[in-house]
Amino acid sequence: MDDVQRPPYRHIEVRRIAGALGAEIAGVDIARPLADEIVTEMRRAWLEHLVIFLRGQQLTPQGLLAFSQRFGAPMEYPQLKGLPECPMITPVIKLEHERVNFGGVWHSDTTYLERPPMASMLYALETPPVGGDTLFANQYLAYESLSEGLKGALAGLVGVNSSAKADVTKSREDRLRAAGVESKLFTGEHPVVRTHPETGRKALYVNYGHTTRFKGWSEEESTPLLGYLFAHQVRPELTCRFHWEPGSLAFWDNRCTQHNPVNDYHGHRRVMHRVTLEGDIPR
């Protein structure tokens, strides 16, 4: 975090949950229409802390969609169908008999698209009695903590991202099969270091879930450096951990974070609703 002194929040309560990123927001019922000044402060907190959390909310799919529209334009998820009554809301479910959870590796959402999402929101309906937390990692700090020599080596490199990377594909198979949806192949090429369009800060923008190689390099040539970056960018001191309860909501910035849903609740059900917000072409 930088040392710039910011004015206090007047309409919301903001409590940091870790040194690297993450803050819980209190004093807001997002099921009700929100005044512009509240939305402005929530967006400020989101940009400052990269991921914000709210607890004790009571949201219908339409209510979640309406809240998300105060921050951006919802987009369809490219691999799964949304709810019949609210197509922009995607159910994210792990059932009692399933062993693999959806997206259960470190990743930034759908970086295999030409325009990856700006942000995602996840709302908890049913949670296991223990486990099922989500980890988040700060990619500003991941970049800033690299040596100057490595920063120079990464400048100008482009990462090739694929929707067919094996570990992530495996985490989608059950949901796609149950929905009767055929998996599609997407490939996106983005700067290894991107500049956030709102904050101007640089963030490391490769991820274990989707990045397969550097453009112009073979996978074999790319593997050693990518392996180092994948391990570096999720070091414990760069992360926070969120424990879900029914009624909890997380809102994260895909342009400067990664996340990893922890798969430690076999035999229990976890039901979430997700909405994704349109982004720009990474620069």
Beta-ladder partners of 95: none
Give the amino acid at 32: R
Active site residue: 49, 196, 213, 274, which one? 274
Q: Which two tokens stand for residue 238?
A: 């760069």
Active site residue: 49, 109, 175, 270, which one? 109
Print burial letters for 182-201: b (CB count within 10 Å at least 16), e (below 16).
Answer: eeeebebebbbbbebeebeb
274 is known as an active-site residue: yes
CA 282 to mean position of chain CA atoms: 15
Closest-CA residue to 89 (of 65, 68, 110, 67) = 65
d(CA 139, CA 206): 9
Closest-CA residue to 14 (of 37, 45, 43) = 45
Closest-CA residue to 188 (of 90, 254, 120) = 254
266 is known as an active-site residue: no
259 is known as an active-site residue: yes
109 is known as an active-site residue: yes
> Are the CB atoms for 139 and 204 separated by under 8 Å?
yes
CA distances for 176 relative to 93, 173, 201, angstroms: 12, 5, 36
Active site residue: 49, 210, 259, 270, which one? 259
d(CA 97, CA 246): 21
Q: Which two tokens stand for residue 205?
A: 């923008």
Task: Point out the residues that are catalytic.
Answer: 107, 109, 259, 274
